[in-house]
Amino acid sequence: MYRVVLHSKIGNLIAYLAQEVPDLALTKVLKLLYLIDETSVREMGSPITWLDHKVWKLGPVAVEIFREIRHGEKTLVGDKTFSLEDYIQWDVHPNPHYSGQVEVSILSKPEVKPNLMEFSEFEEELIKGIVEEHRYTTAVDLVQLLHKKNTLWHQKVEELELERVFEFRNTSTVSIDFTELIKDDPDKELAAQAAYASLEFELALYELEL
């Protein structure tokens, strides 16, 4: 929804992950993006990317990012296309462990240096902390981490009995609700409301220019 005003920020974030994390592939990108947003909500009330993370079988997934990198679906708003190709490149190749499936490796584009000026000092330190902690964590281990009992993913799966859904498919239309993390913290709720209002204002200005 907010890709039009956060496109550069999201692109630079993924480029930074590709620069700092060796052998980065799609699943790990998606889990790191989620951890960055969840940690940001816990610490300051609002996410960094504002991506819609859906509850899928293998954990939270920013579907918009998944669809572009995995299937080449770009975001079109009006007559403008928003593409991660401005920031990263990716390579699709067969997965040696699962016949008929593919892996997608994510690479930073050599001519693009991630612009960390897109982020506040707090956001930059948070991102660097997540990268430092999980630089060598495997995608499988990240999936297991986000499946643990009482995580937001686990809570939604239990609440809506999504295990039954996941017996037949790997996806769902259910979104992670970050407000659950701050519902007992009035200060962070106010901070989240302010951040949301600011983002809505930016979006309104963009739409006026269309």
Report the b/e string of 183-206 with b at 16+ CB within 10 A: eeeeebeebbeebeeebeeebeee
pTM of the prediction? 0.94
CB atoms < 10 A from the CB of 175, how many?
Answer: 13
Q: What is the pLDDT of residue 102?
A: 59
Q: What is the pLDDT of residue 53?
A: 98
Task: Answer yes or no: are the C-beta atoms of 65 and 51 closer than 8 Å.
Answer: yes
Domain residue spans of the chain = 3-209
Strands 102-108 and 88-94: antiparallel
Per-residue pLDDT of the chain (210 residues; tens, 9 = 90+): 788 899 999 999 999 999 999 989 999 999 999 999 999 999 999 999 999 999 999 999 999 999 999 888 888 877 788 899 999 999 876 655 545 565 678 888 877 889 999 999 999 999 999 999 999 999 999 999 999 999 999 999 999 999 999 999 999 999 999 999 999 999 999 999 999 999 999 999 887 776
Q: What is the pLDDT of residue 96?
A: 55
